[in-house]
Amino acid sequence: MNDLQIVQVDERDNNWENTRPRFRVYLHGSGETTTHGWTDTYDIAGADVLQVIDWAQRQAGESLTYAVALVHDDRASEQLDPGRARGLVWLVGIDGNTNAMDPEETQAMQRMVARRREPVGVPAADRMPPGALDPYNDGSQSR
For 2-36, write each residue's pLDDT tens digit.
678 999 999 989 888 888 999 999 999 988 899 99
Residues 6+ apart with CB under 8 A from 52: 23, 25, 44, 68, 128
Half-sphere exposure of 55 (CA within 13 A, CB side): 25
State the Cα torsion 32-33-34-40 to the nearest 10°: 30
pLDDT band at 56; cut points 50, 70, 90: very high
Q: What is the DSSP letter of 54?
A: H
pLDDT at residue number 139: 55
Residues 6+ apart with CB under 8 A from 67: 25, 26, 28, 56, 90, 92, 93, 94, 95, 96, 112
- pLDDT at residue 54 greater than cutoff 90: yes
pLDDT digits 0-9 by tens, 59-103 = 999 999 999 999 998 777 766 777 767 899 999 999 999 988 899
CB 90 within 8 A of CB 69: yes
Q: What are phi and psi of 53, to 5 degrees?
A: -60, -45
pLDDT band at 143; cut points 50, 70, 90: very low
